[in-house]
Structure 1
């Protein structure tokens, strides 16, 4: 059986980024079996699925009457063709969860026909691996994006990055076989915990002075009281006069370097990290991205060695305080510190997945002029990224390189700008004194 679909010229407009025009689609009985052959023998996203997924996205974006602006319906097993999502999010969901069963006819995306292939697969014919996707693989894809693995690697990843690639293979181990061998659940749990730690995105907990005078960090990590105000570090135990090991205040710090390296471990982002150095044909004098600014160009002139490696990362830092309990709740000021890589194009760099939550300043009081105390770990890591090369694997070019990073800007409202700079800000005159 051969089904011919013809789309009139007025129904197939050119779509930006896809260049899709009038075409004749020929579908045999097995043309869309790729939809349910997501993983190859090694457990990676199969090439045939990636190719078919690209064709599906092109088709879905060629029917604006079935879209919500630039969003399309997500046909994954989780969304079930109900919500509209960004194209990148739909690709990620389909790589994580797969297509809903028997969606061979793309009628929710504009395919108009009364018949479809006669060999649609039944749910029971799907492989066990396809129906019961390991949760670990979903966590890895959450971090890395949909297309991050490739089976043909020209250069072997460095030992540190290789752990991340090995984690996908480890995630495919069938735990039900382990259970059948009567291994205690505690041992299985510890193995799972160790596997998750392979992501390498851990959180550092750093004790603070209750008044924000200092951090118990690096050379001061063993102190029991503040070296400025002599306030105790730990709370007293209720049952005795001895101090417990529970600190009065503690900040959370998420190291930046591992997440920058993950941008190059993902096929979904690695190539876009060089976007800023490409010619995009913008009009002279029009700034569409920070790379068009005079500050960026002047930085390249002052630091030519840094600019010579297009994969070096340009960063922006922003912070501001808010009350998590609202104005009607208890007064509690919390200050998140967010860092954004500006190598990415405008459509990506300002989206939530690429705004890295790096640290949180504990409350309940506003840190005011002591904000720099809590920025110490951030500044130390930024200095290391500037002064020292970090061996990173670029999956798009399949090679290792020496990555560096530079903080280009800080972004905040005017009072917070005064706190970050250490200057006094007068809001009424909009000046720093």
Structure 2
């Protein structure tokens, strides 16, 4: 049965005005939190000011809690003993959804949620960078039950519904209508979003940026940086935008590009690989990973080209965390063989540090 922790907020009306029950249970909380502090470096402070981002001593944390109170909705103490390593956590707040065929869309959504849950708080004094902070807030939210009478977390509920929307191609209006029906059926005070916009906003920490770049229809140049304002290709003279002809035979450009490159920046994706402690360790596998077949090439690091690269670039090779990548490209036609031979040319960027079983999951792709 879930422990009632409403005392964290009901027992403190304002600064230094707290109930005896609040003092007693806050002391118990401090005892529990600092019983795990074997290093003496302090414990993440859950006050409304530190927001679980700064380690503090017991005395300082006690003062902060009296002054600022607990951060909102911190009823599952993920930073103070109720971490994702707890044996009951998967049973209580993690209920995977699989359809009868083991739908791949649901599996991918579950993998995405797992990646977020793998994120670990830094024990350093400075504030986390904005991307990391968003992940940590998402981690906390993932442990909030959808309502008081369920074992399904808010994050699980939203990701499951979005997976179903994608699987069955539900329209935005249809998805919003479903959320309204579900919301009316749930108990008062539930945390299900009102519409698709609110659902995507909740998952915004999972989003990865991408950039759309206009391209010459004949692939001569990109309209970016110093060429971002040009309307025609410097080499072939082709129009950047679609053109229409008026009744006088004059051509006019519309604001619809003829061809677009979708570029997924590589650096944010590399940063995400290092935001999960288990995955960050895997990023050094190429150097420290165990080979069960030492006489066979089981990883590109076992090949002669890799071994020759290390002495040629010894400074880069000295740190196993430096990322080595492979780039591959080929064209394909997503609309069937009846159309043009090639309509898409994806460029795949593959991190080679990882064991090969993980590398395919973390491939970055840009396409024209």
TM-score class, shorter: 0.5 to 0.7
Q: What is the Cα deviation at residue 52 of structure 1?
A: 2.5
1:257 maps to which of 252, 261, 267: 267
Q: Residue 347 of structure 1: CA displacement?
A: 2.4
Deviation at 1:261, TM superposition (A): 0.7
- 1:237–1:198 Cα change, 3 Å: farther
On the 8 A contact 1:167/1:195 being kept in 2, the answer is no
Provide the rounded CA distance (Å) in 2 between the counterparts of 1:233 and 1:218. Answer: 15
CA RMSD after TM alignment: 4.3
Please list the CA deviations of residues 79-128 of structure 1 after superposition, one character each: whole Å capped at 9, or x if unmatched. Answer: 27x56799xx98x87xx5xxxxxxxxxxxxxxxxxxxxxxxxxxxxxxxx
1:78, distance to aligned residue in structure 2 (A): 1.5
SS in structure 2 of the partner of residue 145 of structure 1? helix
1:322 aligns with 2:351: no
SS in 1 for 2:261: strand
Matched, 1:223 2:224: no
Q: Distance in 2 between matches of 1:54 and 1:295?
A: 45
Displacement of 1:301: 0.9
CA contact (8 A) 1:42 1:169 kept: no
**Residue of structure 2 equivalent to 1:336:** 346
Q: Once the 2 structures are TM-superposed, how far is the Cα of residue 237 of structure 1 from its aligned partner?
A: 4.6
Normalising by structure 2, we get a TM-score of 0.54
284, 288, 297: which one aligns with 1:278? 288
Q: Which has the higher strand share?
A: 1
- Residue from 73, 76, 87 that aligns with 1:41: 76
SS in structure 2 at match of 1:291 = helix
Query: Against the structure 1 CA distance between its residues 273 and 54, is the aligned structure 2 distance closer, same or farther, given a 3 Å change threshold?
Result: farther
* CA deviation after TM superposition for structure 1 residue 208, in Å: 0.9
TM-score by length of 1: 0.47
* Structure 2 CA distance for aligned equivalents of residues 55 and 239 of structure 1: 64
Distance in 1 between residues matched to 2:90 and 2:203, nearest whole Å: 34
> Aligned partners of 2:85, 2:97: CA distance in 1, in Å?
19
1:328–1:249 CA distance, 2 compared to 1 (3 A): closer
**Structure 1 runs not aligned, ≥5 long:** 1-38, 57-74, 97-140, 362-433
Q: Partner residue of 1:9?
A: none
CA–CA separation in structure 2 for the residues paired with 1:54 and 1:43: 10
TM-aligned CA deviation for residue 299 of structure 1? 1.3
Task: Give the direction of change, closer, same or farther, for the CA distance of 1:238–1:268 in structure 2 (3 Å limit).
Answer: farther
User: Structure 1 residues 224 and 49 mapped into 2: Cα distance closer, same or farther (>3 Å)?
Assistant: closer
Structure 2 unaligned regions, length at least 5:
1-73, 147-153, 155-182
Q: Once the 2 structures are TM-superposed, how far is the Cα of residue 40 of structure 1 from its aligned partner?
A: 6.7
CA offset digits 1:188-218 (Å, max 9, x no partner):
9877666655445122111111121111011
Aligned residue pairs total 245
- Equivalence for 1:78: 97
Q: Distance in 2 between matches of 1:143 and 1:256?
A: 21
Q: Residues 283 and 205 (structure 1 numbering): CA distance in 2 closer, same or farther, change over 3 Å?
A: closer
Does residue 145 (structure 1) correspond to residue 115 (structure 2)? The answer is yes
> Residues 230 and 51 from structure 1, CA distance in 2 versus in 1: closer, same or farther, beyond 3 angstroms?
same
Structure 2 Cα separation of the partners of residues 54 and 281 of structure 1 = 33
Q: Give the conservation status (yes or no) of the 8 Å contact 1:147–1:268.
A: no
Q: How much has 1:163 moved relative to structure 2?
A: 3.6
